[in-house]
Every structure is written in C-alpha cells, then in structure tokens.
Copies of this chain bind each other. A is one copy, B any other.
C-alpha cells in the first residue's frame, strides 16, 4: 500500500474551535493541517475573469514551491511574494482568456508552470479584493517555480533573488513546524501541486492532460496542436470527455487510524514499524478499501495487523494529511474479551504490536512525545515509551482515550 502517514511535525499546535461549536458535545477536535482561514470560493475557479483579477490584485499573496517544498521565512513561517515577483515565470496574465479557449488551443509541447488558487482570506476584507460584491478578501495563490523546460532561466533567477533575501525552500517536512493556520494553507497547496505533478497523463486514454480550474481539475483536451500523428489535431475519443469523471478531480485517500482499547478499558494497543527509532510506538493505521464503512475498515485493519478482534468502534476526528493525499479518519475501538491475543502473522506490516497500560501511555504523552527521530523533552528517561507529537492525530486519539473519550468514566 502507499506510504502510511508517519508522525511528523514537532510543534504542538492543534487549534481549538470557537466555543460556540462545542456547546453540547464538548469541543470539536481540529487537528493539525485543518483550520484554514481561507474561503476557497470553489465555484469561482471556472471564472477566468475572477482568477485574472484576483491574481493581479495588489493585495495578492503568492506561495512559492520548488519540487513540492515551500519557500520559508523560518521553520515556522511561510514566505510570501507578490504577483510582480512571479510574473517572469507565469506570465503577465495567465488567466487572461476563458478556459474553453485554453482547452481549444491546447499544445502539449508547451510547459505551463502550475498555479493553484487557494482562496480568499476574508479577515483582510478592507485591503483585499472585491468581486461581485459577495466575495472579499486577500487572494492566496501557490506557484510551482521548479526550474524546468521553458521557465528554467526565469525560475532560477527568481530563486536566486529570494535566496539573496534570506529566504529558502524547506528541506523536508521534518524540518518545518508551521503555525497551525499556515500549515493548513500549505497542506492545501502541497496536496494540489502533488496531485497535478503526479498525474500528467490521462488514466483513461494515456494522452497528456491539462490543468484547469486553477489547479483543481485536469482535463483531457479533444485536440492537441502538437499532435503530429493525424491530419487534424484531433485525439482519439476519451471516456473522461463524454461525462463527468472522478479521474479529472483531485484524489484524496481515506485512511483509518485508531486507538485500540482492551475489553476492560485499562490497556491500549500500540504497534511499531521496523524503521522507527527504539522505543517508538504509535496507533495502528491503514487505507480504507473499496466498499467499506469506516468502522469495518478499522476492524479489518486491526485484525490484519495485530490479530485483535474489535467490537465497538467510534469515530473521533479527522485530519487532512498532505503526504501526498490522505484524509486520516481517527477512531477509537474496543477489543472483545475473547479477541485480545496479538498475532502478527497475518499481514507482515508491523514489527511489533503490544498492549500498554493506560498509565504508561499517559506518562509517555507527558514526557516522551516528539517528531520521529527528534529528542523528547528533558523529563524523558531513556528506555521509556516514545510517542508522536500532538500535531499527529495518533497523539490526539491516545490523549482522548486516557482522558476518557466521550464518556464520564476513564478510558473508553
């Protein structure tokens, strides 16, 4: 299966939502990478007049990415540039003509740097952009400035310029600790840049596709000026053109991740992968399969990886995870009394899975958390259990369990 999300960013930043939202059932858990302040106004992505005005507005903020790594001011802060800064790479008005014209004049031999429209920051209503009266705020875009094909020179110059200003691209996600709202904006940009980069061809017909809807759709044009195979520029028929196809839209893989509690409610099952540092454990996780409910996926995955049989399963919260395209669905499950024996022989994914006492997990949440491969806090004693940081939903699930999730009593 694709890479499973691993615990990552070190900063404990899970924004709490307004108390308004939590009147009766306790607070909603807003995990790291969610909580974006932007209004995506997705229905305006097909409107090139909107996109053209928004991109060129003086208030507009642009994030730069090189090979999917964002430009940073510091490990905890994204760097932003203006439209004028990136004009040399993306042109004076990349949204200047209607999308239908861009598709009709498609030429697969031309390289077009990817631009993503991320949304409007409505908190900046005054200085921001106004469109059709209703839609106000500071426009945010992301641009891929990886030096490539026809933009190599312009992109290299731009990169040189920002580096001379003391900015630099991230060196891998383990070295970033963005504040929560910026992390959410970054996650949107990264997920979409990755999806576009990963899908240059049509899975239905094998021909090259074109990014439209400001990065939120890829279309398979019916003709290609670079097409020298036939007399006309026409391509063979493609199923994605005769109806609406999910292949044209960004992919997000639902993933289940679960804290498993023993039948008596006193122990928590954790597992570890071989490549993790010593003493590291986390909750089990895996991809939801076709035609499964979340609860079924949780029970199947836990049985496959650990041999444990679950009874009750309750969904706790969700976390977008942009490496590359996951929706983590966090749950808490309880083993049935006769199903608590660990058996690692079904699926060979884990090196170990075992039961820990609630006390041990509680203590490790206090003193033993960090990003993978980072040091724990000063109270940690060598040999003690190590756990992922609070930015990982795994940590939130374990915390919920030791705090007595959704019940008045301890544990589950």
Q: Is A34 an interface residue (CB 8 A)?
A: yes
The answer for the CA separation of A313 and B22 in the assembled complex, in Å, is 9
User: Quick one: given A24-B312, A324-B246, are A291 and B18 in contact (CB under 8 Å)?
Assistant: no
The answer for the CA separation of A311 and B28 in the assembled complex, in Å, is 10
User: Quick one: given A244-B1, A253-B252, A345-B134, are A320 and B293 in contact (CB under 8 Å)?
Assistant: yes
Q: Is A228 an interface residue (CB 8 A)?
A: no
Stretch at the interface among A88-96, A156-164, A186-194, A379-387: A186-194
A 378-411 contacts with B by CB, 8 A: 406-407
Chain B residues, Cβ within 8 Å of A3: 243-244
Instruction: Please tell me which one of the listed residues B20, B199, B207, B304 contacts residue A204 in the complex, with CB atoms under 8 A apart.
Output: B199
Chain B residues, Cβ within 8 Å of A248: 2
| Nearest neighbor of A28 in chain B, beta-carbon distance | B295
Chain B residues, Cβ within 8 Å of A300: 40, 42
Chain B residues, Cβ within 8 Å of A54: none
Report yes or no: B293 in contact with A318, Cβ–Cβ below 8 A.
Answer: yes
The answer for the CA separation of A248 and B304 in the assembled complex, in Å, is 21
Chain B residues, Cβ within 8 Å of A246: 2, 251, 253, 324-325
Q: Could you list 18 A-B pairs, sorted by A, with CB under 8 Å?
A: A2-B246, A21-B312, A21-B313, A23-B312, A25-B312, A28-B312, A33-B291, A34-B295, A36-B296, A41-B346, A43-B348, A188-B289, A198-B204, A200-B206, A206-B208, A250-B290, A252-B288, A294-B327
Given contacts A187-B291, A201-B204, A206-B207, 20 further A-B contacts (CB under 8 A): A2-B244, A2-B245, A2-B248, A18-B311, A20-B312, A21-B313, A24-B407, A28-B313, A36-B292, A43-B347, A43-B348, A184-B291, A191-B291, A198-B247, A202-B206, A203-B247, A252-B254, A288-B327, A291-B320, A295-B318
